[in-house]
Amino acid sequence: MRTITRTPTITAMLLSATMLAGCATNRTPQFSYDASVPPLPTVQATVTNDTPRPLHVPPAWTVARGGTAADTPNGRVENANAAARVEPRREGYYNAVQIYPWSEGALYQVYAAVGQITTIALEPGREPDRCRADRGRGHRPLDHRRHRERQRCEPPRPYPVKPTRPDISTNLVVSTDRRTYMIELRARESLYMPAVAWAYPATPGQRRTVPAASIIPAEAARNYRYGLQVQGDSPPWRPVSVFDDGRRVYVVFPAGIVQGEMPPIFVLGANGEPQIVNSRVHQNVLIVDRLFGVAELRLGSGNRQQVVRIVRTNQHDHGRIVLMSDTATATPMRLRAETPRVTRLSRKMLAGVGAVALLGIGGALIYALQTRDAEPGGEELYSTENRPTADGLSGLPRDYTGPVLGPALPGDLGRPILDAQNRGQPLAPPAMATPAVDPEEERRRAEEEAARLSNVFFQSGPRTGAPTGTAMPGLAGLGLGGQPATQDRHAAFLNGPVDRQTVAPDRVAPPTSPYILQAGAVIPAALITGIRSDLPGQITAQVTENVYDSPTGSLLLIPQGTRIIGQYDDGVTFGQRRLLLVWNRLILPGGRSIVLERLPGADASDYAGLEDRVDYHWWDLMKAAGLSTLLAVGTELATSDEDRLIRAIRDGAQDTVNQAGQQIVQRQLQVAPTLTIRPGFPVRIIVTRDLVFEPVGG
């Protein structure tokens, strides 16, 4: 073992393993559950108004504002009445009952028939003060005291309508102590509506009220047994105290936390990973619904994330929990917890693993670099004898020893003609009779020559050369003429159509409600749930700053601690670094909620999406490439004394293994990167349409 440890490679491996062992994660301290648990507080009965509501809510009705413009008063009245008429709609039917959405001043259409009864149902619990048709009819005044008593005991009474002839068109006005119904009655021969009702907006009396009970324990019931441990600079939102009542943990922030941001809390599990926990906010106190050993308050992104750790100290005095209010000598809250034990790896195990790895690597290197004895004679791999010779080569000379002679000159004139040619004098050869050429024979010879010189295999790939008579394509077709096209596009933009409408048709509209958060506002929050783009899922965030109304900025609409529910897009492509997300619902601390209709999410700088950590899976790609290389190298190792069968098997295995390695690498290249957003990451919800809230007290 001493010889092995002197090797530089083993020394480096042991040093690296020792450094990794020093970076081992700390165990989360555990605590024992208390034997005595305080009872839950008595909750008062909830006061509600259980007024019956319709079983079906129709779609909203758009308020008419006079209809289309007209030049005469009669035309304006006619257009206003036509625009205010509310006809039966398919979406408003619940069985045979047409439920109209209530809108003050609307003209509701009721169709009746001769011999049929149409029932008009008013708001439950309301009786009419007077009911007048076009002729009018008097009623004696109601005793309002007896009227209210009857409202609580008797169900609403329907009002039947039964015409006597089919050609009646009149109007009916029904007034109650709260509403005035304007109805237009139209009688038909057979078409009629069995029943008509209305859907009304919720009134303040119909909302459930939460009992005003104290949720913060008294000083005598507080157990101060948690300490703070700040990582890095001390943030301004650092808690001033942490205590519990045996059931819940209360984290008290500075009173001026409303001037800044309130971080979310995460409970650390046994492996040190952050876990979300049910919590709520009451003024400047964050209430956690369970006890814990270690928790962290996180706010920020990247390496500059601010973290404050809350650690349970478990300090007892003779079996009794020490309270700060019991004695002046009680142990104060410490800013740093006890140093936990660090789990380290065994040095003997590291040395053994390093020795085995060194032996394996050394054996592989020795086997790969060893030299083999040279053989006396090389083995002929391929035989060059008995090869067929092409027809075009059979007529050529086999060597360059004999001169190539031309055709013999005719008769006695051969020598003078040769002398004249040697002296450079042109001399036409004597005319010789040319034998007649048969066209059919010439065509047959041409076909044989073409067949002899043709290729054996078909050409399926693209041709490299263009025909001689084909013109080359222009530079614009090859993508080299983009600049003139761009200039033409710019010129077309400059010479575009002229918009001669100088006045916009829309006008300035007042706010819908004083408790409105208008488009363009930003809701600051921090993630409670982490995000990993491998699979789709839901996300939760917590509002970190108070959000006030847009017109005045003095009405609190969204307090700190409000929860926001959303979702993210897991369709990540290669090279993408930002994760797209939307928000669907906002839940206020009192339990009320509002649908956000997929408002977009952005980071603290208002860039779309979030960017934190990106994993391109380079290590997996390197492992796939290394595996492919090892498979290819293993098939290339062969000796020269292999027979043909072994060589054929080796070649087939080489092709198969090489193809498998390429497919492994190709599949790894198709893996999309993994985007990770850690809990506590700051996020901003961009308001794209006006949101109407209710004021929050306190």
In a shared domain, residues 237 and 332:
yes
Residue that has been written with the tokens 């700053």 in this structure: 545
In a shared domain, residues 158 and 221:
no
Which residue from 278, 295, 283, 280 is spatially nearest to 242, judged by alpha carbons? 295
What number of H helices and E strands is found in the chain?
11, 34
Q: Indicate whether 385 belongs to any domain.
A: no
Q: Are 288 and 248 spatial neighbours (Cβ–Cβ below 8 Å)?
A: yes
* Residue 268, SS3 per DSSP: strand
Q: Indicate whether 697 belongs to any domain.
A: no
Q: Which of 282, 312, 342 is the last residue of a domain?
A: 342
Distance CA 570, CA 643 (A): 55
Higher pLDDT: 179 or 370? It is 179
pLDDT value for 583: 93
pLDDT value for 23: 47
Element (H, E) at 180: strand 180-188
Residues 18, 22, 24: CA angle, nearest 5 degrees: 120
Distance CA 598, CA 199 (A): 27
Give DSSP secondary structure letters for 346-386.
-HHHHHHHHHHHHHHHHHHHHHHH---PPPSSPPP-S--SS
Q: Which two tokens stand for residue 306?
A: 């601010």
Residue pLDDT, tens place only, 359-369: 999 888 888 77
Contacts of 371 (CB under 8 A, 6+ apart): none
Residue pLDDT, tens place only, 379-405: 555 566 666 666 666 667 777 766 666
Residue pLDDT, tens place only, 186-215: 998 888 999 999 888 766 555 444 444 447
Q: Indicate whether 471 belongs to any domain.
A: no
Which residue from 671, 667, 670, 674 is spatially nearest to 535, judged by alpha carbons? 674
Q: How far is CA 191 from CA 91, 101, 188, 465, in A?
A: 19, 22, 6, 81
Distance CA 366, CA 374 (A): 19
In a shared domain, residues 660 and 532:
no
Distance CA 112, CA 162 (A): 7
Distance CA 312, CA 307 (A): 16
Q: Which of 309, 342, 375 is the last residue of a domain?
A: 342
Distance CA 580, CA 601 (A): 7
In a shared domain, residues 686 and 564:
yes
Residue pLDDT, tens place only, 577-629: 899 899 999 999 888 899 998 999 988 777 888 888 888 878 877 877 777 77
Which residue from 267, 338, 256, 270 is spatially nearest to 298, judged by alpha carbons? 267
In a shared domain, residues 81 and 190:
yes
**pLDDT surpassing 90 at residue 51:** no
Distance CA 416, CA 251 (A): 128
In a shared domain, residues 639 and 552:
no
Q: Which two tokens stand for residue 198?
A: 């209305």
**pLDDT surpassing 70 at residue 221:** yes
pLDDT value for 210: 44
Q: How large is the average pLDDT for residues 457-482?
A: 47
Q: How large is the average pLDDT for residues 507-533?
A: 88
**4 - beta bridge partners?**
none
Residue 331's pLDDT band (boundaries 50, 70, 90)? Answer: very low
pLDDT value for 589: 86
Contacts of 282 (CB under 8 A, 6+ apart): 215, 216, 589
In a shared domain, residues 611 and 649:
no
Q: Are 235 and 299 spatial neighbours (Cβ–Cβ below 8 Å)?
A: yes
Higher pLDDT: 280 or 333? It is 280
Q: Out of 339-348, 422-431, 669-678, pick the least confident.
A: 422-431
**pLDDT surpassing 70 at residue 240:** yes
Sequence-distant contacts of 589-594: CB under 8 A, at least 24 apart: 589/280, 589/281, 589/282, 589/559, 589/561, 589/562, 590/210, 590/696, 591/210, 592/694, 594/691, 594/693
* Domain enclosing residue 548, as ranges: 516-615+675-692
Q: Which two tokens stand for residue 191?
A: 């078409």
Q: How many CA atoms lie within 13 A of 23 on its CB side?
A: 6
Q: How large is the average pLDDT for residues 89-118?
A: 91
pLDDT value for 429: 57
CB neighbourhood size of 297 (10 A): 24
Q: Indicate whether 500 belongs to any domain.
A: no
Say if pTM beats, i.e. exceeds, 0.75. no
The count of domains in the chain is: 4
**pLDDT surpassing 80 at residue 569:** yes
Q: Indicate whether 301 belongs to any domain.
A: yes
Distance CA 323, CA 312 (A): 14
Higher pLDDT: 406 or 503? It is 503
Q: Are 661 and 653 spatial neighbours (Cβ–Cβ below 8 Å)?
A: no
Q: Are 102 and 182 spatial neighbours (Cβ–Cβ below 8 Å)?
A: no
Element (H, E) at 655: helix 644-669
In a shared domain, residues 129 and 196:
yes
Q: Which two tokens stand for residue 392?
A: 């075009």
In a shared domain, residues 563 and 645:
no
Q: Which of 299, 325, 342 is the last residue of a domain?
A: 342
Q: Which two tokens stand for residue 292?
A: 């814990």
Residues 36, 42, 48: CA angle, nearest 5 degrees: 150
Q: Indicate whether 309 belongs to any domain.
A: yes
Pairing relationship of beta strands 265-268 and 274-275 according to DSSP bridges: antiparallel
Q: Which two tokens stand for residue 95?
A: 């069985």
Q: Are 539 and 693 spatial neighbours (Cβ–Cβ below 8 Å)?
A: no
In a shared domain, residues 128 and 81:
yes
In a shared domain, residues 532 and 655:
no
Q: How large is the average pLDDT for residues 41-54?
A: 52
pLDDT value for 108: 94
Size (the chain), residues = 698
Q: Indicate whether 483 belongs to any domain.
A: no
Which amino acid is it at 589? P
Distance CA 296, CA 279 (A): 13
Higher pLDDT: 228 or 204? It is 228
In a shared domain, residues 86 and 104:
yes
Q: How large is the average pLDDT for residues 476-503?
A: 72
**pLDDT surpassing 80 at residue 469:** no
pLDDT value for 25: 46
CATH number at residue 566: 2.40.128.260
Contacts of 66 (CB under 8 A, 6+ apart): 76, 79, 80, 83
Give DSSP secondary structure letters for 672-698.
PPEEEE-TT-EEEEEP-S-EE------
Q: Are 321 and 291 spatial neighbours (Cβ–Cβ below 8 Å)?
A: no
pLDDT value for 427: 57
What does pLDDT average to over the chain? 74
Q: Are 112 and 186 spatial neighbours (Cβ–Cβ below 8 Å)?
A: yes
CATH number at residue 302: 2.60.40.2500
Q: Indicate whether 106 belongs to any domain.
A: yes
